[in-house]
Amino acid sequence: MTAKAGKARKGGKNDKRGKDVKAPKPEKLARKVYEEKLVELQVELCALQEWVKDTGKRIIIILEGRDTAGKSGLIRVIKERVSSRVFRVVALGSPTEDRRAKLFMQRYIEQFPVAGEVVIFDRSWYNRAGVERVLGLTGEEQVSDFLEHVAQFERWITASGIILVKLWLEIGMEEQERRLRRRIDDPLRQWKLSPMDTKSFSKWYDYSRARDEMFAASDHPAAPWYVLPSDDKKRARLNGITHILAKVPYEPVKRERPELPKRSNKGRYDDRLDTDKVKFVPAVY
């Protein structure tokens, strides 16, 4: 579903009194079903990886969305079974003084994929139209300039042969609050909560307006936006990977089945470690 399609469907059905009626939530996805489907999709990601290596194709995947929308979780399951030499994640922090002197887009162009590589941007140049704008880290003149030229920039990217996939992970207000509160209370998740997250929490509608203007300026045929509902993490991960696979025209690469050679006995000796001379990690478990 493109951003435009998402807008058309927003609001749900109307009842006889003209009030909006929310569509019923789908049943919770069973863990067994989720894990089986995830493995199937990860097999396809491995096939895509071999195609990228074999053809030298270049792919950019952009993941945008509010805090806690599920970008990191989606990236984790994408990368779980593929090589980090082929799938590379870019999550740029705040620019240093020397980087501030560079052109805004230059930071991102430097991270573009080489032949045979997939680059996943965990937030991208759209920071300018989102986080930076809402938190007042950049001026409105800079934002307007970005929105005016970003579509042309992306047409240049795709014209150069790069496959560009843009995903916006859409989380609901209640679900975002639930996840943020869980980060506050869970010591295994507290590291995920930054001062920027708490500062952003009160600016829900500012982010919504920034999102809408971003879609209006940058949803174009060469690189359309697709909205991925992410309140349900499991479904979002499966749907996100399925969409990415559908947007890349990969084909299985035929390989000869390898055969293991016989081990050579040349130079054979008793190669068992001497327990009196080496130190072993204590067997605590």
Element (H, E) at 45: helix 31-55
* 182 vs 134: CA distance, rounded Å: 24
Q: What pLDDT does residue 154 have?
A: 98
* 251 vs 126: CA distance, rounded Å: 31
Q: Going by DSSP bridges, is the β-strand pair 20-21/13-14 parallel, antiparallel, or unpaired? A: antiparallel
Domains of the chain: 28-247 (3.40.50.300)
Q: What is the pLDDT of residues 189-210, one digit of tens each?
A: 887 777 777 778 889 999 999 9
DSSP-assigned letter for residue 127: G
The residue to which tokens 């055969």 are assigned: 259
Q: What pLDDT does residue 37 have?
A: 98
The structure's pTM equals 0.86
Residue 62 · residue 124 · CB < 8 Å? yes
* Sequence-ordered alpha helix ranges (H) in 56-138: 71-79, 97-100, 106-109, 131-134
Residue 177, Cβ density class (10 Å: 0-12 exposed, 13-18 middle, ≥19 buried): middle
Q: What pLDDT does residue 190 have?
A: 81
Q: Does 7 score more than 50 pLDDT?
A: no
84-98, 176-190, 203-217 — which one is most confidently predicted on average? 203-217
